[in-house]
Amino acid sequence: MSARKADARPLHERTLAQLVSLVVLYGYPFEDLAELIEDRAYDVCEHSGSDCHGTLRQLRRLAAFHEKGSGKGERRARNLADIYLLIGELYLYHDRARKSMRWFRKALRVRESYAAPYHSLALAQSNLGDHAAAARSLEEELIRAPENLYSYLMLAELYERLAEPERFEDALRRLLARDPENVQALHRLVRHYEQEQPGVDVELLRRRLLSVERDMSKAELVIWVYHMCRENRFVEALTALHRMEEKAADSPSIHLLKAAVYGEMRQFTRKKRELALFKRIASGSESVIRGELRQFEEVFGRSAVGKLSRRLAISSPSAGNV
């Protein structure tokens, strides 16, 4: 009896074991079910941690099926590498970095040209404190997938930890060659030169950063406002933040940034009002407030976040009405 006749339920309603059986017993192409299998595996591990061993057992069953498959074609290698990669990622998700590395390396043995296992291997190596090995893995990834822009930022951070400033700069400049408006890369280069080579003129880099006009992520917006403040362009920064507030009135980060700008302008009543709005929109949630302040501190520094934190402690959400 075919799998379709045996069970008429839609594929998205099947358990992980049933999806694996469709491949192993009924000949469904793995690539047709790969996304469902990955989603189901993560879903089980996230919500039923005690059953993650069963999830890994099913995936090893799937791997064993492909390992015994005839031939060594590209399709088989790709499927097997994807299965090994998923197993490794689940181990890494559960903070078993050393165990995960075995599976990432297995993925590379069957498909050496595959970039993704190098990135995951770098994450595992970095988690174990082997930053030099992690940097080598990222360099291998970027040889195969130079368009993976985030990996350049990760690589630069590793070289910074390894105290290799030339390689740090090179990683960021390679990123900027592909993405000239990368706000994070421009910011890191500016900060690097200011701290390590204060004689270097960073104004051209800062102007490039401030001239970016596309929609920015929250992290990029924090950086942009920081550099606007460094240039004393407070009114322009507030005008931009007011426009953003009209589109996203429920964004606490916008009010936190407006408070920072008003603080630089020494307009403390308005700063107090923005902090009250920030607290209100965050619903007083300590986790939300801490997360926003942590991202702010990464750019503006500990002293700046300390000033905001002290004012937040005495700001009443009702003050946003004034």
Q: What is the DSSP secondary-structure string of 98-150?
A: HHHHHHHHHHHHH-TT-SHHHHHHHHHHHHTT-HHHHHHHHHHHHHH-TT-HH
**Between vectors from CA 136 to CA 131 and to CA 139, what angle results, nearest 5°?**
125
Residue 163 inside a domain? The answer is: no
pLDDT per residue as tens digits for the range 122-163: 999 999 999 999 999 999 999 999 999 999 999 999 999 999
Of residues 228 and 8, the one with the higher pLDDT is: 228
pLDDT at 319 over 80: no
Q: What is the pLDDT of residue 262?
A: 96
Residue 87 inside a domain? The answer is: yes
With both helix axes pointing from N to C terminus, report the angle between 16-24 and 52-67 in degrees, rounded to the nearest 10.
10
- Max mean pLDDT range (21-25, 45-49, 122-126, 307-311): 122-126
Rounded-to-integer distance, Cα 285 and Cα 278, Å: 11
pLDDT-based confidence at 314, cuts 50/70/90?
low
CB-side exposure of 135: number of CA atoms within 13 Å? 18
Asked which of 114, 130, 164 is the last residue of a domain, the reply is: 114
The mean-pLDDT minimum among 19-28, 40-49, 222-231 falls in 40-49
Residue 141 inside a domain? The answer is: no
Q: What is the pLDDT of residue 322?
A: 41
pLDDT at 312 over 90: no
Enclosing domain of residue 224: 215-322
pTM of the model: 0.86
Residue 130 inside a domain? The answer is: no
Of residues 108 and 13, the one with the higher pLDDT is: 108
SS3 86: helix
pLDDT per residue as tens digits for the range 99-133: 999 999 999 999 999 999 999 999 999 999 999 99
Residue 250 inside a domain? The answer is: yes
Rounded-to-integer distance, Cα 111 and Cα 82, Å: 10
The structural domain count of the chain equals 2
DSSP H helical segments within the chain, as ranges? 3-6, 16-24, 30-47, 52-67, 74-93, 97-110, 116-127, 131-144, 149-161, 165-178, 183-196, 203-210, 218-230, 234-247, 252-264, 268-281, 286-300, 302-314
CB atoms < 10 A from the CB of 293, how many? 18
Asked which of 99, 114, 129 is the last residue of a domain, the reply is: 114
pLDDT per residue as tens digits for the range 250-277: 889 999 999 999 999 999 999 999 999 9
CATH number for the domain harbouring residue 254: 1.25.40
Asked which of 89, 114, 139 is the last residue of a domain, the reply is: 114
Rounded-to-integer distance, Cα 124 and Cα 46, Å: 19
Residue 142 inside a domain? The answer is: no
Residue 66 inside a domain? The answer is: yes
Mean pLDDT for the stretch of residues 91-95? 91
Residue 45 inside a domain? The answer is: yes
What are the φ and ψ backbone dihedral angles of 243, each rounded to 5 degrees? -65, -40
pLDDT at 50 over 60: no
